[in-house]
């Protein structure tokens, strides 16, 4: 992975020193809150419902054991012994005290991390496929490009005051695990005449106006990537609306101006600025590609794995559910579920972080990833080590066999923490997961993604959940709207609203009715929920959701 | 036609910890909603909010609806109920501190 050079090191240390002085001036009263707020937000510090929250960037979701252990240390020393991994592959600490935050940032700088541009109208942490560098279906590891974008966008003077926040996602695989079509810019690696390049998607986004991104360039050579992305952000910076916060994202700019106009402007700007890049970006990219070189994969027999599969059905169930195909024979990608039934989605205790760090160091070529689905990935585990890895995970409550299943729920922090939320998300996720665990149905149900947001801003990606849940405040009472048929993959679709919402104590029953309807109508066990929905439409599920007496009366 | 004024409390977050705080009738900031001053006059509420805004140790003061309970003001909206208690997934925040009392 990428290690900070002297420039990075100096930059983050200077920012910590600046922020330390700013905090002193805020506490002694020299700075008002209005003066201080933009300064703290630039450093990832929010004030939430009950406390401050520090959002730390995990660039493209990649960590090593040293960084993970430091995140655990920070959780123990300055927070409450846990951290919350988010849908943007970041980690949030929910309970820091203001005076401690500079020390937390210093501790992050010690391991080459920071919280810069995790807030504000800037280019945010670049997210990537969490299987990057390991996936069997990958064309190339997208992380060198992601790191190039991180370096370019960090403190970029032109892009510190964009009309609104700006999110870039990148995948090196045709199977999109990074929700690229719901980002301001999505970069999906494709090949043309054997040469890798990118399909460039703009104007995707969720929130109150969900939109699927559109292809602005179907093939962009890799060497043109940086000037092209700069051209897009540059066009948006001038054209994007600043009169209305709700119409300021690039999705609205693309929608209002039309893709053709945006494309023309971007291509013109690209032609203008490209010569100025002078190849320096390509030299840098070549260096970065070396730092992301694949580990030295080991060739050894996998007999132990096969024996363990035969001997232990619980291990086999976990392996069938939580492993993904690795590019190298003999290896597997391990998804560590942070979704134990009834637990808070995405939360890991400091002890669990250390356990995962130890496993990565011992059995995983020292690599870890955070997924946007709020799980942790050990991308490179030799199959012969899987029984040992599983045993350690199990002893730490980390071996829940539910990746991609109904209890592997994305949930934003919701009104348990977030100042913007209109309803709770976490307890809804906890109750749904617990319900289906009690019913022992989740493996029978098969792949099904439930995503929950506690407000219209859609941090929980509810629009692209197969079943999406949106928590709202209806006349002072929590109310949950259901959307159906959403999909966050390369075939991205915004889910369709099912009908009137449900009260907090009705929502789990409502979800169970949808799922039971699916089990009734599916052609066979191989047909997933989403496939049934696409074959039959929303009606059977709406009928299950709203078994109205007036229908019976009318009949 | 003017609507009847619903009683309010002044609430904010503490600068240092971020913890939820409430303005009391004797000009203290309490961590406990039951100690808050329940204000049933709109003009007085606005004056109290101005007082709160001038103070350096608090952030984001605002008026929140409350009702009179047996032990003092109680929240009206569920958001204020969560602020007064803490998150529902862990016994952290105010509910954690209350355990030790």
Q: Which region, left, alpha or beta, applies to residue A125 given φ > 0 means left and ψ of -120 to 50 means alpha? A: beta
What is the pTM assigned to this prediction?
A: 0.96
State the sign of the Cα–Cα–Cα–Cα dihedral A261, A266, A267, A268.
Answer: positive
Contact A98 B89 (CB under 8 A): no
- Each residue's pLDDT tens digit, A412-436: 999 999 999 999 999 999 999 999 9
Give the mean model confidence (pLDDT) for residues A283-294: 96
Which residues does chain B have within 8 Å of residue A427's beta carbon, measured at their own beta carbons?
88-89
User: Which is higher by pLDDT, A278 or A382?
Assistant: A382
Q: Do the strands A467-474 and A477-484 form a parallel or antiparallel pair, or are they unpaired?
A: antiparallel
- Each residue's pLDDT tens digit, B30-53: 999 999 999 999 999 999 999 998
Which residues does chain B have within 8 Å of residue A51's beta carbon, measured at their own beta carbons?
13, 17-19, 93
Considering only CB atoms, A50 lies closest to which of B59, B77, B83, namely: B83
Per the CB < 8 A criterion, the answer to whether A454 and A423 are in contact is yes
Instruction: Tell me which H or E stretch contains A13.
Output: helix A6-27
Average pLDDT, chain A: 96
Instruction: Determine the Cα–Cα distance for residues A51 and B29; give it in Å rounded to an integer.
Output: 16
Question: What is the model's pLDDT at position A217?
Answer: 98
Considering only CB atoms, A47 lies closest to which of B59, B77, B93, namely: B59
- DSSP for A61-83, written as a single string: GEE-HHHHHHHHHHHHHHSSSEE
Please state, as a whole number, how many other Cβ atoms lie within 10 Å of the Cβ of residue A78.
18
Residue B99 pLDDT level (bands cut at 50, 70, 90): low
Strands (E), A320-427: 323-325, 331-336, 347-349, 368-370, 376-382, 410-411
CA distance A503 to chain B (A): 13
Give the mean model confidence (pLDDT) for residues A126-130: 98
Which residues does chain B have within 8 Å of residue A49's beta carbon, measured at their own beta carbons?
20, 79, 82-83
Helix (H, G, I), strand (E, B) or coil at A107: helix
Percent of chain A with pLDDT over 90: 98
Which two tokens mark A297? 């994969």
């Amino acid at each position: 992975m990428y290690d900070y050079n002297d420039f990075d090191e100096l930059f983050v240390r200077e920012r910590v020193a600046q922020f330390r002085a700013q905090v002193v001036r805020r506490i002694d009263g020299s700075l008002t809150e209005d003066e201080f707020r933009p300064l703290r937000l630039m450093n990832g510090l929010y004030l939430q419902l009950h406390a401050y929250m520090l959002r730390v960037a995990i660039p493209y979701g990649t960590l090593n054991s040293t960084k993970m252990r430091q995140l655990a240390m920070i959780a123990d020393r300055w927070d409450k012994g846990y951290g919350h991994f988010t849908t943007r592959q970041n980690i949030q600490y929910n309970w820091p005290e203001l005076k401690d935050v500079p020390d937390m940032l210093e501790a992050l700088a010690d391991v080459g991390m920071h919280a810069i541009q995790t807030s504000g109208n800037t280019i945010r942490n670049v997210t990537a496929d969490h299987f990057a560098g390991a996936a069997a279906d990958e064309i190339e590891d997208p992380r060198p490009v992601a790191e190039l974008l991180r370096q370019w966008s960090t403190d970029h003077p032109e892009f510190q005051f964009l009309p609104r926040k700006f999110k870039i996602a990148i995948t090196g695989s045709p199977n999109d695990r990074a929700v690229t079509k719901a980002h301001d810019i999505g970069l999906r690696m494709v090949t043309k005449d054997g040469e890798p390049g990118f399909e460039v998607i703009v104007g995707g986004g969720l929130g109150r106006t969900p939109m699927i991104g559109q292809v602005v360039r179907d093939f962009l050579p890799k060497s043109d990537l940086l000037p092209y992305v700069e051209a897009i952000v540059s066009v948006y910076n001038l054209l994007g609306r600043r009169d209305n916060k709700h119409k300021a994202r690039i999705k609205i700019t693309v929608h209002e101006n039309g893709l053709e106009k945006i494309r023309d402007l971007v291509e013109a700007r690209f032609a203008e600025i490209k010569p100025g890049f002078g190849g320096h970006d390509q030299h840098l990219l070549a260096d970065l590609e070396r730092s992301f070189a694949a580990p030295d994969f080991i060739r050894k027999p996998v007999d132990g794995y096969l024996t363990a599969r035969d001997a232990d059905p619980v291990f086999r169930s976990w392996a069938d559910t939580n492993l993904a195909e690795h590019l190298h024979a003999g290896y597997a990608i391990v998804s560590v579920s942070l979704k134990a039934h009834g637990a808070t989605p995405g939360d890991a205790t400091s002890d669990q972080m250390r356990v995962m760090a130890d496993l990565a160091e011992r059995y995983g070529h020292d690599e870890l990833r955070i997924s946007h689905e709020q799980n942790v990935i050990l991308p490179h585990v030799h199959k012969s080590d899987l029984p040992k890895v599983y045993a350690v995970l199990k002893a730490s409550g980390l071996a829940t066999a539910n990746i991609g299943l109904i209890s592997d729920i994305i949930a934003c922090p919701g009104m348990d923490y977030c100042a913007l939320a209109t309803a709770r998300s976490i307890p809804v996720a906890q109750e749904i997961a617990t319900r289906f665990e009690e019913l022992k149905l989740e493996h029978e149900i098969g792949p099904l993604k439930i995503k929950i947001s506690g407000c219209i801003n859609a941090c929980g990606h509810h629009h692209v959940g197969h079943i999406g849940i949106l928590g709202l405040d209806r006349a002072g009472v929590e109310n949950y709207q259901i959307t159906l048929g959403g999909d966050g993959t390369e075939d991205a679709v915004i889910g369709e609203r099912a009908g009137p919402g449900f009260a907090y104590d009705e929502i789990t029953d409502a979800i169970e009715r949808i799922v039971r309807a699916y089990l009734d109508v599916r052609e066979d066990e191989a047909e997933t929920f989403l496939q049934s929905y696409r074959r039959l439409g929303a009606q059977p599920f709406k009928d299950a959701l709203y078994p109205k007496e007036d229908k019976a009366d009318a009949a | 036609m003017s609507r009847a004024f619903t009683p309010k409390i002044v609430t904010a977050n503490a600068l240092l910890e971020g913890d939820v705080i409430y303005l009391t009738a004797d000009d203290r900031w309490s961590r406990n909603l039951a100690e808050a001053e329940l204000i049933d006059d709109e003009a007085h509420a606005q004056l109290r909010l101005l007082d709160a805004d001038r103070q350096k140790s608090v952030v984001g003061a605002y008026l929140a609806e409350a009702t009179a309970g047996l032990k003092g003001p109680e929240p009206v909206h569920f958001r204020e109920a969560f602020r007064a208690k803490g998150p529902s997934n862990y016994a952290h925040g105010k509910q954690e501190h209350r355990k030790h009392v």
